[in-house]
Amino acid sequence: MDQPLSTPLDKIKKCIESEQSFVLQGGAGSGKTETLKRAVNYCTERFPNKKIVCITHTNKAVDEIIDRVGTGVEVSTIHSFVGGLVKPYKRNLLKYLPELFCLPLFEELCIEHYGGDDKVRKTEEHNRYKALHETWASRRLIVLQESTEKVTGKREYDKAPSSFNAALNAGIEELNDVVRESFRHHHFKDVAYNDTPFDSFNNATFGHDGLIKIAALLFSNYSNIGKIVRDKYDCIFIDEYQDTDEKIIDSLINFTPEHGLTIGLFGDSEQAIYDDGIGSAIRFIDDGRLKLIEKEDNYRCSPQVIDVANKFRSDGLVQKVGLKEVNGKLEEPEEREGEATFYYSIKPLPPEKPVSPKKRDSDDLKSAYKIAKAKYDVKLKEYKLDLSRRLENLTAFAQADIGEHVLLKLPNKSIARDANFGNLYDLFDGRFRDTREEIRKQLDRLQFGQLTEILQLFDRSSNDNRSYNKLIGLLKKQGFVIKNKQDKRELYSMLEEFSVSDEAAYVVMEHAIKAGLISLSDSHKSFLIRRDRELERFAEDTSFDAFKKLLDHGCNTKKRMCDYLAENDDIDLASVVVEEKYEQLKKDVQSEAFFMGLFGKNIKFKEVMAFFKYENDDSNFMTMHKTKGTGIENVIVVLDEFNWNKYDFGSCFRAEDDNPSRQALTRKLLYVACSRAKKNLRCVRLIEELDEVRNISNYFDNCVHVNLD
């Protein structure tokens, strides 16, 4: 009778021997990467002829795995791995390259899709139409160099949605025909992976996202690709699998032969941080294509922290204390003891909003409402400042006796200021809801991410040969040529100057483009074209300047503007224009301010550098968005989702919620943050009412009320 396999590593060894693909699911601190290293070592010792590749997400992670497993095993980022697989098949790549630039047609969803709610259906259908229209307009700008009329507003759209959808689809089909015809004129030798974030329509090259999409198309349409992967590799191990694009996992599992290849996924579905990652591999586990191996040990956290973190997991995995061996001696359980405490205070009630008068109400009532509304606005501002002060005081109370620690919180204005990109944050916060993600998205479109990567590699290159080689390789791909020592000296002088530049952000970008460090991408070009055309449109709109003057007079609502125009004649604008165009003009003013700010003198390049350092965990400031990896002795988690629709910390402690997807997302974020604490965990939150404490006490045995009045 077979003996039971005692450890996750034993089970992995058995899978490797029988060529059974598997997923190692382990929580924070379970030693997943160490198990990956031991699995590789087992392969190289037991099956020295097996060809192994380890895949991860970033160059930094590649270096860390190489340090663990050595240089005898292929270690690659997911993009380098996939790029190497598809590179030889340029004819096939050219065939499917148009699919990266073609758009899907708009498909109307029936009322049943929206649960029979016609109001919701109308709103969501227009949102979908608007999103696709904007993508189509942006793509037309790249492909045809033509601008597109503004998207139709909801009021007009609701009158004839099918007609507007049909017109949009006709435009999309026309554009797709142009795209496909254009690629017929390219030679297959032109096609290449450009190793940047961007696909290039004009150059017939594809970037990171395009690579993943086109590779999936090749896997699904050519069975030989999967066979070639099987012939090339015996084992493919993917670290942090939950953040690997679902299309790649799907291709490797569905379109490679069942025998002769072992695919091993190492990670934790509860720690997924990328929207396009697979997250969970449960469907492959359920159909038997992956064997689930759970790793329950936690070698990082105290039992008190583990107990809290376990309650936030949704997959049923229950971690337990795993004792580490230090200098040949197993640690004592007492050494791992710590605390997990929740500090809370009750929010004061917000000021009561005055009831808006009706049209038929008297002038006296309307006048009284104006006075009351002005007082309310002042009180609301004071109330929000009071909440910020209370949260700071509550956090300070939790910090009092914990010793050296790290604060984890969602990014906000305070963090941005402390991390030296406050002006940049304010600029985006004035226009977008999801501020941090939009900063990253828009700066990447303008290729600031590429430029800062070059400068960060330069900064490390003097002491790190790998960084130096990556820097030179990156510059070559941009077309920058180093012919002699003088070229190298000039390059280093320029990079050094950029690294400490006090110039405006886009001025530095223009210098980098002129010097050949950055090759202008299609998305960058379309951004600039759209900016110029929008600013030109604002200048030609006679109502635009008048609208801004009304805002300067303190008229920040449609009603206040109309009232001002009725009582004054110093601004040449009709009330009917305000009534009809208020929302559009308001957006236009915000757009102008955004463009002028982003391309003006106030946003310095050093703020852009500071933002990317913060994003890449190279600054002294940490947030819950970036908390995976090595633990920290003492952690204080600040639960404040003010101005965030994406998260709701109150929902984490409720059994059910009216927005289950947001609840699940927030629980994962909180799981990652809490499980970062090695010894002591403290969470702080301002709560609405004492009833919340009952929910919180289901997660934290120790809840402390702090009176801030």
pLDDT tens-digit map of 543-581: 999 999 999 888 888 888 998 888 888 888 898 998 888
Residue pair 183/204 in contact by the 8 Å Cβ criterion: yes
- Give the percent of the chain with pLDDT over 70: 96
Rounded Cα–Cα distance for residues 641 and 27 (Å):
25
627 compared with 411, residue with greater pLDDT: 411
Angle subtended by helix axes 448-461 and 505-515, to nearest 10 = 80
Where does the pLDDT of residue 103 fall: very low under 50, low under 70, confident under 90, or very high at 90 and above? very high
User: Model's pTM, two decimal places?
Assistant: 0.82
In the DSSP assignment, the letter for residue 355 is P
Instruction: For 614, list phi and psi in degrees, rounded to 5.
Output: -65, -45
- Does residue 692 carry a pLDDT above 60? yes
Q: CA angle, corner 221, sides to 220 and 226, nearest 5?
A: 60
What local confidence, expressed as pLDDT, does residue 302 receive? Answer: 96
Q: Are 151 and 134 in contact (CB under 8 A)?
A: yes
Strands 192-193 and 406-408 turn out to be unpaired
Query: What is the reported pLDDT for 86?
Result: 93
**pLDDT in the model for residue 426:** 92
pLDDT at 1: 41
Q: What is the pLDDT of residues 335-364, one digit of tens each?
A: 899 999 999 999 999 999 988 887 777 878
- pLDDT at residue number 662: 85
Instruction: Return left, alpha or beta for 629; rule: phi > 0 is left, psi -120 to 50 is alpha, else beta.
Output: left
Distance CA 467, CA 447 (A): 20
pLDDT tens-digit map of 104-120: 999 999 999 998 999 99
Under 8 Å between Cβ of 310 and 681: no
Distance CA 170, CA 96 (A): 22
pLDDT of 3 higher than 70? no
In this structure, the number of other CB atoms found within 10 A of the CB of residue 474 comes to 17
C-beta neighbour count of 642 within 10 angstroms: 11
Q: Whole-number mean pLDDT of the chain?
A: 89
Answer whether residue 534 shows pLDDT above 60.
Answer: yes
Instruction: Assess whether pLDDT exceeds 70 at residue 624.
Output: no
Higher-pLDDT residue of 354 and 627 is: 354
More confident position, 358 or 125 = 125
pLDDT digits (tens, 9 = 90+) for 418-457: 889 999 999 998 787 778 888 988 999 999 999 999 999 8
Q: What DSSP state is assigned to residue 111? A: G
Q: Is the model's pLDDT at 5 over the cut of 50?
A: yes
Q: What is the pLDDT of residue 301?
A: 94
Helices (H), 403-541: 413-418, 422-429, 435-445, 448-461, 465-477, 485-499, 505-515, 522-540
The pLDDT-based confidence of 234 (bands split at 50, 70, 90) is: very high
- pLDDT of 560: 87
Closest CA to 315 of 279, 276, 364: 279
393, pLDDT greater than 60: yes
Decide which of 276 and 312 is more confident: 312
Q: What is the band of 651 on the pLDDT scale with cuts at 50, 70, 90?
A: confident
